[in-house]
């Protein structure tokens, strides 16, 4: 267990220090900042479009971080020959694969959490649909304090203790964002203590949790592919499977309706092998504007989490099998 958590911790730290990790998070935060302005040109569904755009941004951000981080977790160590040093120690290959998955998954969870807070802030601010609408200065001030505090503290730690600026800013941003969300849960847009009207919808939190499960599946898939292929092939395959998983019901469901034997067989195989990412997307419920009771969401979440856990375990088992006889010398 000590070896497992040591390798997972090092993988988590290396992932946070990758430039692409900080770039993707920064781009996502910038899109969340622009989303209230980009969604004000519909006739009457501005806030619904804001949620749709925000969840789509969150989905793509977590998936791209998962793909880029997991694809290089094993492939880069193979190319740099650093994996020889690790495996020359008494470290078994299944432990190595599982530790890499845990480290990358932890980094994806951190990025997903930061972007979820930004999504909730954007939805809490809302769209200025009429000229009488005003900005939510409670949200704007909180976001400014979080971003400014993370940058100032990261600059200080970088100067005084030589800590890496990007990874320090991400960790401090997550901590300050948590404190900011606690503050916004109790104060409304008029700076009044009003927890009942804090503007935070539970449905947005439900959607974010389900999207995180989809990102974890992609982490396992990218890790399995990187055990045998280079980064370019892994990235291409993961993006292709991601796009196919979004239309899994349509693509394989259409084949299943035919009476051709081979088409039905391919449809059944496709539904088993390709992850159905549509399970983790609840935009239809958001469009309907209906409230989802906590009990019903818990039941759906258990089913979705069971599907994600089984699929992730199967992919990790495949990754161990592919890496077990991989020549690393």
> Is residue 299 predicted with pLDDT exceeding 60?
yes
Longest dimension (CA), the chain: 70
- Mind giving me the DSSP string for 225-257? HHTTS-HHHHHHHHHHHHHHHHTHHHHHHHHHT
pLDDT bucket at 140, cuts 50 / 70 / 90: very high
> Is residue 100 predicted with pLDDT exceeding 60?
yes
Give pTM, 2 decimals: 0.91
- pLDDT reported for residue 196: 84
- In-domain check, residue 112: yes
- In-domain check, residue 246: yes
Give the range of the structural domain holding residue 102, as residue numbers without chain letter.
2-324
Rounded to the nearest 10 degrees, what angle do helices 202-226 and 93-125 cross at? 150
E strand or H helix at 99: helix 93-125
pLDDT bucket at 94, cuts 50 / 70 / 90: confident
- In-domain check, residue 329: no
Mean pLDDT, the chain, as a whole number?
86
> Is residue 258 predicted with pLDDT exceeding 70?
no
Nearest-Å Rg of the Cα atoms of the chain is 22
24-74 pLDDT tens trace: 999 999 999 988 887 777 666 677 888 888 989 999 998 899 888 887 777
Number of domains the chain contains: 1
**Weakest-pLDDT range from 60-69, 81-90, 287-296:** 287-296
């Amino acid at each position: 267990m000590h070896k497992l958590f040591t390798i997972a911790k090092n993988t988590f730290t290396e992932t946070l220090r990758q430039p692409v990790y900080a770039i993707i998070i920064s781009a996502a935060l910038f899109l969340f900042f622009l989303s209230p302005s980009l969604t004000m040109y519909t006739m009457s569904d501005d806030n619904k479009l804001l949620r749709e755009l925000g969840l789509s941004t969150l989905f793509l951000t977590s998936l791209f971080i998962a793909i880029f981080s997991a694809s290089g977790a094993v492939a880069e160590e193979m190319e740099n020959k650093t994996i020889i040093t690790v495996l020359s120690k008494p470290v078994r290959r299944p432990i190595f694969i599982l530790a890499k998955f845990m480290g990358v998954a932890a980094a994806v969870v951190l990025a997903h959490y930061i972007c979820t807070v930004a999504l909730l802030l954007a939805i809490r601010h809302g769209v200025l649909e009429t000229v009488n609408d005003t900005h939510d200065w409670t949200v704007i001030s909180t976001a400014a304090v979080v971003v400014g505090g993370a940058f100032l503290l990261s600059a200080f730690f970088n100067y005084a203790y030589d800590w890496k600026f990007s990874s320090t800013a991400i960790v401090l941003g997550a901590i300050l964002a948590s404190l900011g969300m606690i503050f916004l849960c109790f104060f409304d847009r008029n700076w009044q203590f009003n927890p009942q009207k804090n503007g935070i919808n539970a449905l947005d939190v439900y959607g974010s949790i389900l999207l995180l499960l989809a990102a974890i599946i992609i982490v396992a898939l990218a890790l399995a592919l990187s055990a045998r292929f280079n980064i370019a092939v892994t990235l291409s395959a993961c993006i292709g499977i991601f796009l196919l998983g979004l239309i899994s019901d349509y693509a394989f469901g259409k084949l299943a309706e035919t009476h051709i034997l081979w088409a039905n067989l391919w449809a059944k195989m496709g539904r088993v092998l390709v992850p159905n990412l549509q399970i983790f997307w609840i935009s239809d419920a958001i469009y309907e504007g209906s409230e989802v009771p906590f009990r019903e969401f818990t039941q759906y979440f258990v089913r979705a989490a069971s599907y994600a856990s089984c699929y992730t375990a199967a992919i990790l088992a495949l990754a161990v099998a592919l890496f077990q006889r991989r020549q690393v010398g």
